[in-house]
Amino acid sequence: MTEKTRVGVVGVGYLGSIHARIYARMPNVELVGVADIDPTTAKKVGADCNCDFYNIPEQLLDEVEAVSIVVPTTLHREVAELFIDNGVDILLEKPVAHSVADAEVIVDAAEKADVILQIGHLERFNAGVIALADMLDRPRFFEVHRLGTFVERATDVDVITDLMIHDIDIVLSLVDSPLERVTAVGTRVVTGHVDIANARLEFRDKTVANVTASRVSSKKFRRIRVFAESCYMALNFADQQLEIVRPKKINESDRFAAIVSEKIKIEQRPPLDAELEHFIECVRSRNKPLVGGRDGLEALKVADIVMRDIENT
């Protein structure tokens, strides 16, 4: 491997252009080029990032060691297989694919080719989520809300695979028990897909997660609350601040322990910067990503169960 990792970005719309700009300023990365079906977009991002620009991903194949794929979900399998077949490591935006079947093909192919496959579940790199995961012990109940205003991006998929899948992935990573039952409700509001949904996830150890997602709310609200055996934890995803409420050590003279609230000081960091740096570290070290292909596949399988339960209601 060269001193600098040679990287490309396929799909440089809103999110892909941010990937490109972050790579362009990373000291151990050479952003070789970007590719987008829209020549005007590709040219603009290429100029902004001082790199080559192309209209088809094939033109990047012989130039890069690693690539971010940030194309519409329906194109994930087609584009991912192209780079996997050429031994290029991939950061693939979530969800893994438009269907579980396509996701399984992608994950199996990456494992067979021995290429790095990291899935872009961005919230796993939220400093508050990392702190919560480090401090959490035996969770019993989750209440998660991810509400957003309507934007036209990502309307090719439903709100479950657009937004809720973030929190499905987080909950699955925090609960050390098999998922046994899923019930869900949801409805279409402004698109042809489900725009608001609620799911209840029940695990074998009796842990329960109540997860709500909406892309038709009047304001943004992203919060996770966790009830554990010894404390209550609340995290605001936006400001990455974590609050812990728990009983103080009881004195002999006390009838009940006093309840104290503590705000944990967390050094905020843009999650996407952390995610891309982790990807490059994995490419260079050949270590397994924090959110690998199998993790993304499991989250998509649960999202698919949620969607099917809604459709059958």
Whether residues 20 and 166 fall in one domain: no
Distance CA 313, CA 292 (A): 32
pLDDT of residue 2: 57
Lowest mean pLDDT: which of 27-31, 144-148, 179-183, 245-249? 245-249
Whether residues 37 and 104 fall in one domain: yes
Q: What pLDDT digit, counting tens, does each position of 67-81 carry?
A: 999 999 999 999 999
Domain ranges, residue 288:
5-120+273-292
Whether residues 37 and 173 fall in one domain: no
The CATH number that applies at residue 160 is 3.30.360.10
Whether residues 193 and 229 fall in one domain: yes
Whether residues 206 and 179 fall in one domain: yes
Whether residues 82 and 158 fall in one domain: no
C-alpha of 227 from chain center:
23
Distance CA 182, CA 305 (A): 7
Whether residues 59 and 195 fall in one domain: no
The pLDDT > 90 percentage for the chain reads 85
pLDDT of residue 249: 76
pLDDT of residue 153: 72
The CATH number that applies at residue 35 is 3.40.50.720
Whether residues 143 and 238 fall in one domain: yes
Whether residues 89 and 218 fall in one domain: no
How many structural domains does the chain have? 2
pLDDT of residue 175: 97
Contacts of 56 (CB under 8 A, 6+ apart): 35, 37
pLDDT of residue 60: 96
Distance CA 280, CA 91 (A): 9
Whether residues 178 and 286 fall in one domain: no
Mean pLDDT of 6-23: 97
Whether residues 28 and 163 fall in one domain: no
Distance CA 37, CA 39 (A): 6
Give 313's pLDDT tier (boundaries 50, 70, 90): confident
Whether residues 132 and 255 fall in one domain: yes
Of 129, 293, 113, nearest in space to 224 by CA: 129
Bridge partners for 244 per DSSP: 233, 262
Q: What pLDDT digit, counting tens, does each position of 156-177 carry?
A: 789 999 999 999 999 999 999 9
